Structure 1
Amino acid sequence: MEKKNNKYHLVLQELSLKDGSEGNKSLEFDFENHDDLFQIFEVIKAKKVFDNERTAQEFALGLKLFTEVMLKNKQHTLFEELRPAIMEFMKKLKSY
């Protein structure tokens, strides 16, 4: 039985670079996540984990993208040491 996931489309556009030049690169892709990301954004915002809403959105998106890759690659040796710490971190975040 195939597990159903939420599907998303992400567009990342480089606007300007720290040297003052105009950005001209972009990245666009579809991805899936087992969580409703927009609900996660609202939860993080409501919990006031960060004072700044944009920071909260960046945090939530980055965390959910990273942890989904980690879940899909559970046996990858890259995550061996990190997995227990991430699990504890997620517990702490959920109790925040």
Structure 2
Amino acid sequence: MEKRNNQYHLQLQELSLKDGSEGQKTLDFDFDNHDDLFQIIESVKSNKIFDSEQTAHEFSLGLKLFTEVMLKNRQHPLFEEFRPAVTEFMKKLKSQ
């Protein structure tokens, strides 16, 4: 049986730049993830890992996007030295 992933759509819109100018760029893309991202975001928020809900959103989404790329490219030499540290980090995070 084929393992199915959750599918998501992300829209990133540049609002303003640090030089004060108005943002112009947007990025839209679809992606899949083996985890329920909304459940993870809620878990990070409810466990109060960070003081800010905004930080919980940024952390959860960034971490899950990154780790999914690592999983899909586990043989890539770029992740070779980093993978053990990420594995330990994820264990620590899940224990909280």
Q: CA deviation at 1:3?
A: 1.7
* Residue aligning to 1:54: 54
TM-score (norm 2): 0.98
1:71 aligns with 2:71: yes
Distance 2:58 2:36 in 1: 15
AA at the equivalent of 1:77: P
Superimposed CA distance per residue, residues 21-71 of structure 1 (whole angstroms, 9 cap, x where no aligned partner): 000000000000000000000000011110000001000000000000000
Aligned length: 96
Q: Over aligned residue pairs, what C-alpha RMSD do you find? A: 0.6
Distance 1:32 1:2 in 2: 14
Moved over 3 A (4+): none
Distance 2:78 2:69 in 1: 11
Structure 1 portions without partners, runs of 5+: none
Q: Give the percent of matched residue pairs that are identical in Structure 1 and Structure 2.
A: 76
**SS at structure 2 position matched to 1:10:** strand
* Residue aligning to 2:17: 17
TM-score (norm 1): 0.98
* Residue aligning to 1:33: 33
Distance 2:36 2:95 in 1: 19
**SS at structure 2 position matched to 1:69:** helix
Q: CA deviation at 1:2?
A: 2.7
* Residue aligning to 1:5: 5
Structure 2 portions without partners, runs of 5+: none
